[in-house]
Structure 1
Amino acid sequence: MNEHWKNLFTPVQIGSCQIKNRFAMAPMGPLGLGDAEGGFNQRGIDYYTERAKGGTGLIITGVTFVENEVEQHGMPNCPCSTYNPVQFVRTAREMTERIHAYGAKVFLQMSGGFGRVTIPTNLGEFPPVAPSPIPHRWLDKICRELTKDEIHYIVKKFGDGAYNAQRAGFDGVEIHAVHEGYLIDQFAISLFNNRTDEYGGCLENRLRFAREIVEEIKKRCGKDFPVALRYSPKSMMKDWRVGALPGEEFQEAGRDLDEGVEAAKLLVQYGYDALDVDVGTYDAWWWNHPPMYQEKGLYRKYAKLMKETVNVPILMAGRMDDPDMASACIADGTCDIISLGRPLLADPDYVNKLRAGLRRTIRPCLSCHEGCMGRIQEYSLLNCAVNPQACRERDMAYRPVCRPKKVLIVGGGVAGCEAARVLAIRGHEPHLFEAGDRLGGNLIPGGTPDFKEDDRALAAWYAQELERLRVPVTLNHPVDKAQVLAGGYDAVIVATGSTPKVFPLGDDAHVHTAADVLTGKATVGQRVVIVGAGLVGCETTLWLREQGKDVTLAEALSKPLAVNGPLCHANSEMLEALLPYKKISVVTNASVRSFENGRVLVQTPQGEQTLLADDVILCVGYREQNDLYHQLEFDVADLHLVGDARKVANIMYAIWDAFEVANHL
């Protein structure tokens, strides 16, 4: 192990609870991990246990509810510690006992409710509630104001739920939260709280809900039972549903830092034993759920401020998967505990691998949100784009083989690499051929922008994993039908990917694909028109703008990113907001007709427009490259088509396709 990382493996206390190292599993929505009676299902038990087995010192569960009457939740969206206490204790006890076997501690994250920020797919027909009649975050609805009796009921249920958690073997609880604009935070922020009773008005009144919760838990569970708080000292809001961008000067509409400091002091005075710090609200969601467009370690200065303000441990997440950065934060007093959320979805063994000096074997998180928040938002499911086993550890376990097969894999993109990796782990004999000079496929051009560093890391990870597993890899070698049939293979996986769609515009010597520009095969002048404002078009635009290019986006639909999905709102909304902030022109409902003599002719509902350009980049989608598969489909019995060659989608589905096929050969 790197000597500088040893401070990450020293013990730390939260109240009476000693944690073996400085790593916590950050809470992530446990959608799909609860049962119909409010307990943890087998997937949830396996999922949390796997992260404890991987070396994480403190497991913090995803959000669980304390009641199901005032703010109703369709069961079994998330566990609920009071819905059926016997079932909750029964299932949670099995989980905590397994977690403790690995020397880890576990806190139950308990929520008072979502209020105005409930994700519509999880809301169903239930009416949203809030401190006051205020607009819902996503829906065109005004929330219903909570009564004082309902507040008192929720407080009591926190006590009941914490007592059940203590019985079930949890080492503490984390309250969710004066953070991100959830219900308790809505009470704390004056913009959302227009009450005139003892729960509104001055800061102490607005924090009364949070105060009564910790006092009730301490009364029921004892003063030595740790109670942490998820806390955002700054909201990053410019207005309702409008967030601020990094570096932007703005007037804070939510909680500003001055009040954030004062509130932190009060919350610790009330009895909270630790603060789990980030910044943001659902109205500025790209802060709480940072996409790759945010810098790594984006909460450091806010955590440091909290560390200087209060005398309880500070936990901090926020793209903290760089161990050098994590070690420096522990050393300089930025925080006491490093929380890893999505990195532990991507690789549950992150901590043990780091401790053993195996950093290069840690599978990187892409901050893409495709498998986690994107699927939570659309399907109420928690998964991971790069780790198909996340939240499905038992169902998707590697299947050992009795009779190894010799398997040909054609294509070295993510689908081909994942197939080869899984086959080798299971005991098969994969042989991978790639027409290009590198493994990685679309990760190579996609990873060119600075903010896509983790795409580059994933390509490198696949290359070194296949080398470690001794998979024969042949580069610069296109494969034809004759070679396949002459190779004596027991099975063939075709992962030949996709090719960019192109069409003639006139001056085609100056019309390029995004892949060619990103990889340096083509260069562009100062003025560039990009045709297509999907994910590739928008990210290529940002990359060129950072180089000082004058870029115009021409999109056939009514808005950028209209056809990409399921993109988490944190990613899509930040990317959309960055376009005008970076002074990028966007022409929507635009059909590009021609490009000649430095002029791009565009048809819009308002008539023809002329855009000046030195070069045009086409970002209008991809076409499946599956010719080899169709040449082989009546000659090879065990033949499979995976990834973009089967259906153009994204990195997640390419990896998932390949894992499913390779794990069942």
Structure 2
Amino acid sequence: MSHYPHLLAPLDLGHVVLPNRVLMGSMHTNLEETKDWNRVAAFYAARARGGVALMVTGGMAPNREGGVFPGAAGLFTPADIANHRVVTDRVHDEGGRIAMQILHAGRYAYGPDCVAPSAIKSPISPFPPKELDEAGIEKQIADIATAAARAREAGYDGVEVMGSEGYFLNEFLVTRTNRRTDRWGGSLENRMRLPLDVVRRVRQAVGQDFILIYRISLLDLVPEGQTWDEVVTLAKAVEEAGASILNTGIGWHEARVPTIATSVPRRAFAWVTKKLMGEVAIPVITSNRINTPDVAEAVLAEGCADMVSMARPFLADPDFVRKAAEGRAEEIAPCIACNQACLDHTFAGKISTCLVNPRACFETELVLEPTAAPKCIAVVGAGPAGLAAALALDRRGHTVTLFERGARLGGQLNLARQVPGKEEFHGLVAWFETMVAKCGIALRLSTEATPDMLSDFDAVVVATGVRPRDPQIPGQGAANVLSYIDVLTGAPVGARAVIVGAGGIGFDVAEFLTQTGQSPTLHLHDWLAEWGVTDPETARGGLVEPKPEAPARAVTLLQRKPEKPGRNLGRTTGWIHRAALQAKGVEMIGGVNYEAVEPGGLRVSSGPGREDPRLIPADTIVLCAGQESDRTLAERLAARGCVVHVIGGADVAAELDAKRAIDQGTRLAATL
């Protein structure tokens, strides 16, 4: 009997039966822009081999003005069609199915030729759009339909028409971005005209035996968003116009509410999709923060949707579905929704990958083949770098012994998972523990490795991590001065806290210290209230005034750099951390000098001239002033002439960078 009877049940679409209820949602990885079609094909083929029922590509532009950025991939020429055929053939060879997403970015297009229903600039793009006239609108509809026809010619099994997230079609639907007074604006009937014409024309272009997914915005999360009645009316009309499936979209990119970051509760918006169930006869897909088979199964069993969309979980583990079906769910590498290697890379114009799985999108480059010369290798340090190296070395056939001075695996991950909103790190540590236990690695916990213990190994990988940097503040030896390690491992903190250092660790500690009770990430009702999200039947767009809980204590966050604190946090998540702390009343001050710890608090001054000396009152002062590499063991081994490889924080002490650590450990293992 299946562990996941709803998740693994087939879904009949009429002309085709999908083998399970799992959609790999669209992710723009920038792979298509590399023009390396074997690499693109390898990425999708791996996910098809892993058992997903249907995949959706990253957004393909229907024309130049609709591309997310200049040069965005699309199907513009016969050569493009032939290149995409390389991908679809590989997917079909693996028994999979794949649909192409047609994404017209509208005013979100990052280029001067962007177009929109009205000439209203997006707050997240520097380019004001051109308002389309009748001929321009007809061109966009025709180009989208042509893209769909070309997708069929290229061998795709379907298309997804992107109608949510604040992109082009969504922009026509809301008065916030559609101020037109002609037949394309004003009444709901007029505002719906464009998306419905697109669906009809696409269906005409591809025929009946072709999957047509419409990505519908159920919750805009912006002022002047759609009412729930408007959403339901649109859904029914899209079904009538010829859609095969409705896929859920949540929130515009300019929304002040996070929708997919790790601090968002799991399945946070499945309740919205459930409201649409029964309103249409075609299958409805739910999405956002569904990252385990158990969560997906519960969503389906509760009738929230007919199918689940998971995107980033297939970066973390292409074999997600196969492992679930084989009863090996604990072996699924977890998506922790960190955004660090996927969305942050995408928006920086880099190839997307995954913190947990650096082989994602690098399948043809980062290859872990069996070694022809097995060695006995010691890995010292069971943080993310050491764990990644040890597992990859074992996979390749080396004999690995893993030494860890602490009593458990995880290293600095064990600190990260104490932070409210980072509960997903619990699953990552558990996965590492599972995989180490299942493979041939010899584990030596609570063991301080010495050069004598390591002398007989063919090579030693040193992943001894970091130690806190000493900021050398006069008086910092006082009893009320703690390190971030002290705080995150349970040391008591007073009612007024001052944090020295406003990097990623400083922000994490500030969130830890301001949290009252349990994390809202674990309690959906509290999280929705904190960010101002409500039932779209009661408020247009599902948006109301946020009601965050009062902070547990007063916190001041300081940094030496004379810039806005948090400026260098993650590209797609930094704003969330800043907004969360501002809502909790955290004072953030840059450009300060730390003069001395005094009985009443921390004395600081401003700027290079050390002006405006003042005392910031504090009961507790927390040092988060960065880290230094712990290279002691590596230096002692090198002095003995041992073969030593230094990775992770021991190599570069740059914040708590698990992304770099895991990537470096995996890549080293591929070369030994």
For structure 2, which runs of at least 5 residues remain unmatched after alignment?
A: 517-551
Distance 1:265 1:182 in 2: 20
Contact 1:405 1:490 in 2 (8 A): yes
Distance 1:339 1:636 in 2: 52
Contact 1:492 1:636 in 2 (8 A): no
Instruction: Indicate which of 85, 100, 108 corresponds to 1:117.
Output: 108
Contact 1:420 1:432 in 2 (8 A): yes
Kindly provide the CA deviation profile for residues 483-517 of structure 1, in whole angstroms up to 9, marking residues without a partner as x.
33xx2221121111111223334253211121221
Alignment match, 1:271: 242
Are residue 599 (structure 1) and residue 601 (structure 2) matched? yes
Are residue 136 (structure 1) and residue 104 (structure 2) matched? no
Q: Tell me by how many angstroms 1:48 deviates.
A: 0.9
Paired AA for residue 409 in structure 1: V
Q: Which deviates more, 499-508 or 306-315?
A: 499-508
Q: Tell me by how many angstroms 1:419 deviates.
A: 0.6
Q: Which deviates more, 493-502 or 135-144?
A: 135-144
Change (3 A) 1:603 1:128: farther
Q: Tell me by how many angstroms 1:148 deviates.
A: 2.6
Paired AA for residue 226 in structure 2: R
Alignment match, 1:222: 207
1:560-575 alignment runs, 5 A limit = 560-564=565-569, 567-569=570-572, 571-575=573-577
Kindly provide the CA deviation profile for residues 4-45 of structure 1, in whole angstroms up to 9, marking residues without a partner as x.
x22211111345332110111011113123455xxx711211
Are residue 501 (structure 1) and residue 469 (structure 2) matched? yes
Q: Which deviates more, 366-375 or 208-217?
A: 208-217
Q: TM-score, normalised by structure 2?
A: 0.89
Q: Tell me by how many angstroms 1:574 deviates.
A: 1.3
Q: Which deviates more, 129-138 or 584-593?
A: 584-593
Are residue 453 (structure 1) and residue 423 (structure 2) matched? yes
Alignment match, 1:181: 166
Q: Tell me by how many angstroms 1:168 deviates.
A: 2.5
Q: Tell me by how many angstroms 1:70 deviates.
A: 6.2
Instruction: Indicate which of 79, 91, 94 corresponds to 1:87.
Output: 79
Alignment match, 2:588: 586
Distance 1:166 1:404 in 2: 48
Alignment match, 1:326: 296
Q: Tell me by how many angstroms 1:436 deviates.
A: 1.4
Are residue 284 (structure 1) and residue 294 (structure 2) matched? no
Alignment match, 1:631: 636
Distance 1:268 1:593 in 2: 67
Instruction: Indicate which of 512, 515, 518 corresponds to 1:546.
Output: 515
SS at match of 1:352: helix
Contact 1:15 1:225 in 2 (8 A): no
SS at match of 2:236: helix
1:412-431 alignment runs, 5 A limit = 412-431=382-401
SS at match of 1:7: coil
Are residue 399 (structure 1) and residue 393 (structure 2) matched? no
SS at match of 1:661: helix
Contact 2:565 2:589 in 1 (8 A): no
1:525-540 alignment runs, 5 A limit = 525-540=494-509
Kindly provide the CA deviation profile for residues 265-302 of structure 1, in whole angstroms up to 9, marking residues without a partner as x.
333233322211131111127544x1111111011111
SS at match of 2:5: helix
Alignment match, 1:253: 224
SS at match of 2:512: helix
Runs of 4+ in 1 over 6 A off after TM superposition: none
Q: Tell me by how many angstroms 1:47 deviates.
A: 0.7
Instruction: Indicate which of 560, 576, 579 corresponds to 2:578.
Output: 576
SS at match of 1:338: strand
Instruction: Indicate which of 658, 662, 666 corresponds to 1:659.
Output: 666
Paired AA for residue 206 in structure 1: R
Distance 1:90 1:316 in 2: 33
Are residue 642 (structure 1) and residue 647 (structure 2) matched? yes
1:31-70 alignment runs, 5 A limit = 31-34=30-33, 36=35, 41-68=37-64
Instruction: Indicate which of 127, 142, 151 corresponds to 2:137.
Output: 151
Q: Tell me by how many angstroms 1:541 deviates.
A: 1.4
Kindly provide the CA deviation profile for residues 562-593 of structure 1, in whole angstroms up to 9, marking residues without a partner as x.
233xx132x11111111122233333333332
Contact 2:420 2:511 in 1 (8 A): no
Instruction: Indicate which of 618, 626, 629 corresponds to 1:621.
Output: 626
Alignment match, 2:540: none
Q: Which deviates more, 606-615 or 436-445?
A: 606-615
Contact 1:20 1:103 in 2 (8 A): no
Q: Tell me by how many angstroms 1:600 deviates.
A: 2.2
Contact 1:502 1:513 in 2 (8 A): no
Q: Tell me by how many angstroms 1:536 deviates.
A: 1.6
Distance 1:137 1:166 in 2: 35
Q: Percent identity?
A: 30
Distance 1:339 1:70 in 2: 25
Kindly provide the CA deviation profile for residues 147-171 of structure 1, in whole angstroms up to 9, marking residues without a partner as x.
3322212211222221122122222
Distance 1:285 1:276 in 2: 22
Contact 1:375 1:381 in 2 (8 A): yes
Instruction: Indicate which of 275, 284, 298 corresponds to 1:305.
Output: 275
Are residue 490 (structure 1) and residue 458 (structure 2) matched? yes
| Count, aligned residues | 629
Contact 2:221 2:257 in 1 (8 A): no
Q: TM-score, normalised by structure 1?
A: 0.90
Contact 1:493 1:641 in 2 (8 A): yes
Aligned-residue Cα RMSD (Å) equals 2.2
Change (3 A) 1:453 1:315: same
Distance 2:278 2:606 in 1: 56
Distance 1:444 1:72 in 2: 38
Paired AA for residue 575 in structure 1: H
Paired AA for residue 202 in structure 2: I
Distance 2:461 2:227 in 1: 55
Alignment match, 1:242: none
Paired AA for residue 10 in structure 1: A
Change (3 A) 1:134 1:519: same
Alignment match, 1:443: 413
Distance 1:359 1:190 in 2: 45
Q: Tell me by how many angstroms 1:68 deviates.
A: 2.3
Distance 2:500 2:13 in 1: 53
For structure 1, which runs of at least 5 residues remain unmatched after alignment?
A: 238-251
Distance 1:35 1:539 in 2: 36
Contact 1:235 1:255 in 2 (8 A): yes
Distance 1:235 1:560 in 2: 29
Distance 1:268 1:555 in 2: 54
Distance 1:235 1:155 in 2: 23
Distance 1:345 1:286 in 2: 24
Distance 1:69 1:562 in 2: 31
Q: Which deviates more, 412-421 or 392-401?
A: 392-401
Contact 1:233 1:256 in 2 (8 A): no
Distance 1:496 1:443 in 2: 13
